[in-house]
Structure 1
Amino acid sequence: MPLLTIRHSTAYRYQQPVSLGEHRIMMRPREAFDQRLLSARLAIDPEPTELRWLHDVFGNSVAIALFDRRADSLVIVSEATLEHAPIAQQHVDVEAYARLFPFTYSAEDMPDLLRSIERQHLDPGRVVDNWARAFVSNDGNTETIALLTSMAMSIKRDFTYVARHEKGTQSPIETLNKRQGTCRDFALLMIEGVRALGFAARFVSGYVYNPSRSEGVVGGGNTHAWVRIFLPGSGWVEFDPTNGIVGNRGLIRVAVARDPYQAIPLSGTWFGLPASFLGMDVTVDVRRADPDEFPSSGLGAVNSRLAGALGK
């Protein structure tokens, strides 16, 4: 079970001091059975007059920072150490009734999944629908996992990854036409594609790392985006169309949302002359932590560290 340390730094630069407004920070990894947070720290310069935490409607941890002074820079650094338990594709289990597509979610699950099944982008020409339907065989023997894996692998194989630092996400139709995009563009395309087939899907923002030197991953050095799809028997399962990953191997969740705009890592306002903004620098570093700092045999010590971290 890898022990990882994540350092996510964002620095805004201004030509002259500006007034800083409220900033919303979503960088703290989510607590779950497959990723256990051992420590977390958020450092902000200049120091905010108020920093409060909340859980949004999806259960993501969000920090709200308020300022009362002018500054010519703003630096926000999130550091976290966690235990990560990779789940591979072969460990994804699906209930018998859902192993072949199509299937219908149970009456107990459907009311809570409906908003994650609804399409969020107009497709009057059924472009996304037709693209998604191409992954369904005509003989009625389409395996659910095979269908979803094929779609993720197809995006990795047939589309070109291009980094883009501007805000926003391409529409799924635009991504299909251009045959290129960022990880968030690919995630949104797959979300709308599987929703067109009746699956419940959500957007995930987080971090990607290389579990072994023999594997190459795309999207490191910044935040990464992928998809979670609800499958009876395993619940929410990760699919990363940028890297062709099924399961959470190499993927660390921070935020889960219905749409990309709900999972922005950092957003805020500032007041000053339009020409004052000089730029923004973002770095993300994921590396293996020193096990001696968090000995797995000392559960009491780990719990003590965890309690202290949650109080920071």
Structure 2
Amino acid sequence: MSEKDHPLFSDISSDIFAFSFDGLSSPLIDLKFRTGPQKGDHTLGWGLAWYPADNKAAMVAKDPAAKDTVSLKGAMSDWEGFRSTVFFCKVRGAATGYTHLETQPFTRSFAGQDWVFMHNGNLDKEAIKGLHHNKSIFLEPLGRTDSELALVFLLGKIEDYGARTLAAIDHSVLLSWFLQLDDLGSADMAISDGVTVAVFYGSKSQSSLYYSRIKPPHATEGFQSDAASFALNNPRDTFRTAVVFASSPFASGNWTPMQGGQLIIARRGAVIWTNKKEAPSKLPVPPQQPDRPSALSSPILQGGPLEKITERNALFASVQAQSQQASIVAKLASMSHVQSNVINARSVTHAPDGSPLTYRLYDVVHSTEYTYEKAVEHSTHTFRLLPVEDQLQEVIHSTLTISAEGEDVRFEDVFGNQNIHYSIIKPYKQLTVSCRSLVKIFGQAPDDYGPAQRQARFPISWMPWQLQVMEPYLLLLEMPETQIAELLVYARAFSERNAGHVMDTLNDINLTIYRDYQYVPGSTSFSTTPFDVYANRKGVCQDFANLFITLARLLGIPARYRMGYIFTGANYENKIQSDASHAWAEVYIPYIGWRGFDPTNGCLVSQDHVRVACGRNYLDATPTSGTIYRGGGKEELRVQVTMNEVYL
């Protein structure tokens, strides 16, 4: 039953609103139920649809029997899920008997995403059924309205056309479908696939339809009309632009009436196509009111540094006390609207879910022994053996012992690695280099990928200066173009099967290399390329790290090589690399930082890994390297690494 077929339709008003933003927004929308003399038992209804965080699944909130807008405001409360680039809203009077099935907007899953649809008017239901030639069981209406019949007709046309999105449909073809419905009655319609918004104004419409492009700066008082009001007063929406469609013009802004038979297609806050030239608006345009200055000012409390405490129990007592103090401060902050954050990661004792975060202590010994057939008279060496010192890794002490007398120069290289350049000045036939380190690895809460700036999906956008800094970690090793093209297809397959989700894609690459590639010592050399590893499906940790780095860079993610150690006392199926240095990959995630992936063991880098040196590739991060200028002859090399966990 259509709205006009209902016996009480003459007393029912109906308004539709559609928004297309250029970025995620959370407009404050309020609907005004029109009042007047009514016959019979009337209720008031509304419906709201949006795509949280631009996901393909739409969120729909409806109340077919509302008496006021209290439930609507509750649905749009300021929570993270109410952020989208597309919003559809409809308010209308409803008679007793209307349910959610008859309340708009309608939504239907089709071609891998939810489609949202609104209609204001009255169409010949039997005639629509005659047009609806696609009899797919997935395109059967659930309710009893002509509006839903119009939706399944359009989806049937899209399926017959072979398209999966509105962007894939020729604009004129899409218009022809709307015109077919326009011949059957009044047809003010709006449809969206979550990215594109298409709005059609029927030539026989009994109401009006306007549109406007809202640009910053936004007036704090927002926009008011007889049917609704909306405002962009969320600080995150300061620079948002939107194309807005409404059944009635608002008191401020430039609102253009749509012409009969006009189709407007909008995407990301801009009109990209219309079949009719814009008619000059005859509506009065009041001057915009200046924005009021923001009165928000929230100081951030920062705690002072902890005194260095050598006794472990005393340290934990201090940490627990500080944690309790921070909890009290947080409670006070929540009461006074002051935000407090613990910024020293080592002092955080619990993850957000309440699980404890403790450190682990390792004793690592890395010993390298060179033996030569003839005495070496002159050689120079570079040692990168000192573990990283940062918020999550603390070096209690580290000593380097070199068996031959020489001169050393200590420096930090461009990658932040601590280097010792060593020049040996006396002949030797055997050289032993041994580094012993006692290292703490602190626990870290799982990363939160919720904030939009962290860009959970491809493609990842970079600022120009970020690209400059990250350029060394985005350039590929030189290989034939055909090999790179093949690896690109391989990399894209991970992204496509994970729907472009960044972390899911990276985890998939990590686990696939672990599962599909064989660890074979001696099967590769320093000249082995990532394509060789891909083609042969075997290698060692260095090769797997290089392949992971290449695939990440092909997807536009900066990646670097990391050398360190792994504690294999953990319950890994693949307990390897316990007697030598280990290698893995690190990628940079916007507003997260560098995160490690260990494809050799199919795991994320955690408290089992001790980080030492990093760089673009192995050469930048090799633990020991050198050049013999005179003497030496045949060389024998023996490397041994022992890593034990220390319990206090």
> TM-score normalised to the size of structure 1?
0.85
Change in Cα spacing, 1:167 to 1:272, as seen in structure 2 (3 Å) is farther
1:162-209 C-alpha deviation (Å, 9 max, x unpaired): 223986152011101110011111111111111111111111111111
Amino acid at match of 1:72: K
Alignment of 1:126-145 (within 5 A): 126-137=485-496, 141-145=499-503
Q: 2:481 aligns with which of 108, 124, 129?
A: 124
Alignment check: 8 A CA contact 2:568 2:576 kept: no
Amino acid at match of 2:441: H
Alignment check: 8 A CA contact 1:183 1:226 kept: yes
More strand by share: 1
**For structure 2, which runs of at least 5 residues remain unmatched after alignment?**
1-358
Change in Cα spacing, 1:273 to 1:20, as seen in structure 2 (3 Å) is closer
Question: C-alpha distance in 1, partners of 2:499/2:571?
Answer: 37
Question: C-alpha distance in 1, partners of 2:627/2:420?
Answer: 15
Q: Does 1:242 align with 2:623?
A: no
Shift of 1:123: 4.2
Question: C-alpha distance in 1, partners of 2:570/2:531?
Answer: 35
Alignment check: 8 A CA contact 2:370 2:431 kept: yes
Question: C-alpha distance in 2, partners of 1:13/1:259?
Answer: 27
Q: 1:281 aligns with which of 632, 635, 638?
A: 638
Name 1:212's counterpart in structure 2: 570
Q: Does 1:71 align with 2:463?
A: no
Shift of 1:26: 0.7
Alignment check: 8 A CA contact 1:3 1:289 kept: yes
Amino acid at match of 1:84: I
Name 2:452's counterpart in structure 1: 96
Q: Does 1:61 align with 2:418?
A: yes
> What SS does the corresponding residue of 1:57 show, helix, strand or coil?
coil
Alignment check: 8 A CA contact 1:95 1:233 kept: no
Name 1:51's counterpart in structure 2: 408
> What SS does the corresponding residue of 1:176 show, helix, strand or coil?
helix
1:243-296 C-alpha deviation (Å, 9 max, x unpaired): 11123342211111012211111111224556x3241110011111353xxxxx
**For structure 1, which runs of at least 5 residues remain unmatched after alignment?**
292-312
Amino acid at match of 1:219: Q
Question: C-alpha distance in 2, partners of 1:165/1:55?
Answer: 34
Alignment of 1:1-312 (within 5 A): 1-48=359-406, 50-87=407-444, 90-91=446-447, 93=449, 95-97=451-453, 98-107=455-464, 109-125=466-482, 126-137=485-496, 141-164=499-522, 168-210=526-568, 212-213=570-571, 216-272=574-630, 276-289=633-646, 291=648
Shift of 1:73: 0.2
Which has the higher mean CA deviation after the structures are superposed, 151-160 or 7-16? 7-16
Count of paired positions? 287
Over the aligned positions, Cα root-mean-square deviation in angstroms equals: 2.2
Alignment check: 8 A CA contact 1:87 1:247 kept: no
Alignment check: 8 A CA contact 1:152 1:241 kept: yes
Shift of 1:117: 1.3
Amino acid at match of 1:21: S
* Higher RCO (Cα < 8 Å, 6 or more apart): 1
Which has the higher mean CA deviation after the structures are superposed, 70-79 or 159-168? 159-168
Shift of 1:227: 0.7
Question: C-alpha distance in 1, partners of 2:400/2:525?
Answer: 23
Change in Cα spacing, 1:42 to 1:167, as seen in structure 2 (3 Å) is farther
Amino acid at match of 2:536: K
Question: C-alpha distance in 2, partners of 1:109/1:81?
Answer: 35
Change in Cα spacing, 1:273 to 1:282, as seen in structure 2 (3 Å) is same
Question: C-alpha distance in 2, partners of 1:177/1:104?
Answer: 31
Change in Cα spacing, 1:265 to 1:214, as seen in structure 2 (3 Å) is closer
Alignment check: 8 A CA contact 2:523 2:538 kept: no
Alignment check: 8 A CA contact 1:16 1:72 kept: yes
Question: C-alpha distance in 1, partners of 2:596/2:391?
Answer: 14
Which has the higher mean CA deviation after the structures are superposed, 76-85 or 261-270? 261-270
Shift of 1:46: 1.6
Question: C-alpha distance in 2, partners of 1:13/1:166?
Answer: 23
Q: % of aligned pairs identical?
A: 26
Change in Cα spacing, 1:215 to 1:4, as seen in structure 2 (3 Å) is farther
Amino acid at match of 1:64: H
Question: C-alpha distance in 2, partners of 1:183/1:37?
Answer: 25
Amino acid at match of 1:134: A
> What SS does the corresponding residue of 2:509 show, helix, strand or coil?
helix
> What SS does the corresponding residue of 2:556 show, helix, strand or coil?
coil
Larger Rg belongs to: 2
Name 2:135's counterpart in structure 1: none
Change in Cα spacing, 1:93 to 1:164, as seen in structure 2 (3 Å) is farther
> What SS does the corresponding residue of 2:481 show, helix, strand or coil?
coil
Question: C-alpha distance in 2, partners of 1:229/1:264?
Answer: 19
Change in Cα spacing, 1:290 to 1:52, as seen in structure 2 (3 Å) is farther
Alignment check: 8 A CA contact 2:572 2:601 kept: no
> What SS does the corresponding residue of 2:494 show, helix, strand or coil?
coil
